[in-house]
Structure 1
Amino acid sequence: MSASLEFSLARVGAMTLRYSYLLRSSMPRMLEMMYWPTVQMLTWGFLQTYLLRAPGGLAGADKTTIAAGSLIGAVLLWDILLRGQQGFSFSFLEEMWSRNIANLFMSPLRPAEFVVSMMAMSLIRLLVGMVPVTILAIWFFGFNLWALGFAFAAFFAILIFFAWSVGLFVSGLLLRYGLGAESLVWSLMFVIQPLGCVYYPVAVLPSWLQPICWALPPTYVFEGLRGVLVDHALRLDLMIYGLALDAALFAVASFAFVRLLAAARRAGTLLQTGE
């Protein structure tokens, strides 16, 4: 009994393998993961091209900023954030749609193992959906996200941990309140988008709103992206602050998930997740 209560990588691997089988057996799902990031990248990429070519439409400084690829880079990083969170949450939703949540929590699978398997599946979904899009960005617009090197690694780490924090919190709400909270999987990250300053610097926002923006890890990523592309300098201070905020938010989300799971068990909602 004590051995079954220990964290098991084998159980994590089994759950990840289960989700990967579901994914690879459905070609429409795989195509959908590439479809929306591709549409976003092409739309903003062609807008960037138009702004560069529009006669007298932009000041020289603005053209320099756009020519650096800040729009396309911001779109690609935003999709990493969004798809990372949705890739986490979709695996959880599939269990709820199939009314399998209660079975999982009655099995030897521990909540931590379940969470880690969803994190792994989030990375797999990102790999499938985003790698082809980054290659298309090079082909269409000459923007190579991978060429950012260490900066891209830092951006990715901050974004993915924040995505997992949001996904974990939403999963807890789904456990407690059922599929009535399902819309949060799609909508919550879009509330964060304007505050994360994806397409514009924090300085353009009202002064009273700026402290809220700086409380969100994505803000540090997109400010750092503009620093790399325009000023050719990686702001390590921004990356450190972003990672520190991620650590704090992930701890809060984990605590909330555990408490919401306990509340769902007390209220008996684990057996009613499909309704």
Structure 2
Amino acid sequence: MKLSFKRIWGIILRHLYLLKHSFSRWIDLLYWPTVDLLLWGFITIYLQKDFYPEGKWVFQFIGALIFWNILIRAQQGLAVGFLEDIWARNLLHLFVSPLTITEYLLGLFIFSLFKAFIASLLMAIIATFAFNFKIWLQGIDIFLMVFNLIFFAWSIGLLTMAFILFFGQEAEILAWALALFFLPFSAVFYPVDVLPKFFQYIAQFVPTSYIFETMRKVLLEGEVSYVLILKAYFLTIIYFFISVVIFILSFNFAKKTGKFTKIGE
């Protein structure tokens, strides 16, 4: 049987049309490569500048991985927990019951804490035995920083849920992508000074940048900058308030327009 270029072109054209009208597919095509390039590009610049005493960079990277994992697990615990109800076509059933939106969110918040705790505990145990990195020995200041990361993760999770309610399941990709939007500006694996000036300006409005800068001070110098922690909490409270407002508006919009009956189909 001869190959038909028309049939091959038909398959290509089908996927081109899907790409043309799909926001999530464009994110997959353009967003992830951009984030990867920025992240590893800035890490490379940082390592070339040789900021650390010999061997110190290892602990900084391990600590950064644990902290970032806590944020991701908390954010996805909230957003993916919400998506689980959508995929199971259970969202409408939940909200025709006596369940209130506050009760629903508190349940998701607690579940996301559980996921973040399990994942971070596992990483901390492995880091202790494999790399002799005992993050909990840094004292209560670590918990102040961790709670801020979780608080900020909830803000991102609420925004994700709001976008899904407003735009439909096309916005599902944000459950995995939205937190990573803040990654290049959060100074997770490198200090803010490594970033270009414009990125440094953006980092001033990203609370996680202050947390990771503080983490580096704690791990490398044994000093805690409470000024940076206060700045992080101040920004996080603003983010959380804005995300709650946007979520409530999207929730009410979904109820008024009947999206609850369609979402998940």
Would you call these one fold, judging by a TM-score over 0.5?
yes
> Are 1:109 and 2:99 matched, yes or no?
yes
1:165-223 Cα deviation digits (max 9, x unpaired): 00011111112222111000011111211111101111111112212111111101100
2:40 maps to which residue?
none
Give the Å deviation of 1:240. Answer: 0.7
Alignment partner of 1:123 out of 108, 113, 117: 113
In structure 2, distance between residues paired with 1:134 and 1:231: 21
Contact map agreement 1:165 1:249 (CA 8 A) in 2? yes
1:30 maps to which residue?
none
In structure 1, distance between residues paired with 2:74 and 2:198: 30
Give the Å deviation of 1:62. Answer: 4.5
In structure 2, distance between residues paired with 1:60 and 1:168: 37
In structure 1, distance between residues paired with 2:70 and 2:101: 25
Contact map agreement 2:70 2:119 (CA 8 A) in 1? no
1:96 maps to which residue?
86
> Are 1:206 and 2:196 matched, yes or no?
yes
In structure 2, distance between residues paired with 1:263 and 1:61: 51
> Are 1:159 and 2:162 matched, yes or no?
no
Q: Give runs of aligned pairs for residues 133-212 of structure 1, distance below 5 A.
A: 133-212=123-202
Q: Give runs of aligned pairs for residues 1-275 of structure 1, distance below 5 A.
A: 61-63=52-54, 65-66=56-57, 69-275=59-265
Q: Can you give the 5+ residue segments of structure 2 that lack an aligned partner in the other structure?
A: 1-46
Contact map agreement 2:75 2:157 (CA 8 A) in 1? yes
After superposition, the Cα gap between the structure-2 partners of 1:217 and 1:59, relative to the gap in structure 1 and judged at 3 Å, is closer
Give the Å deviation of 1:60. Answer: 8.0
RMSD after superposition? 1.7
Contact map agreement 2:70 2:117 (CA 8 A) in 1? no
Mean Cα displacement is larger for which, 142-151 or 72-81? 142-151
TM, length-normalised to structure 2: 0.79
Contact map agreement 1:64 1:230 (CA 8 A) in 2? no
Contact map agreement 1:169 1:257 (CA 8 A) in 2? yes
| Count of residue pairs brought into register by the alignment | 219
Contact map agreement 1:84 1:164 (CA 8 A) in 2? yes
Q: Alignment partner of 1:197: what SS? A: coil
Q: Can you give the 5+ residue segments of structure 1 that lack an aligned partner in the other structure?
A: 1-50, 52-56
Instruction: Output the amino acid matched with 1:131.
Output: L
Give the Å deviation of 1:58. Answer: 8.5
Q: Alignment partner of 1:108: what SS? A: coil
Instruction: Output the amino acid matched with 1:95.
Output: D
Q: Alignment partner of 2:230: what SS? A: helix
2:34 maps to which residue?
none
Identity across the alignment (%):
33
Larger Rg: 2
1:34-65 Cα deviation digits (max 9, x unpaired): xxxxxxxxxxxxxxxxx9xxxxx995844254
TM, length-normalised to structure 1: 0.76
In structure 1, distance between residues paired with 2:213 and 2:255: 42
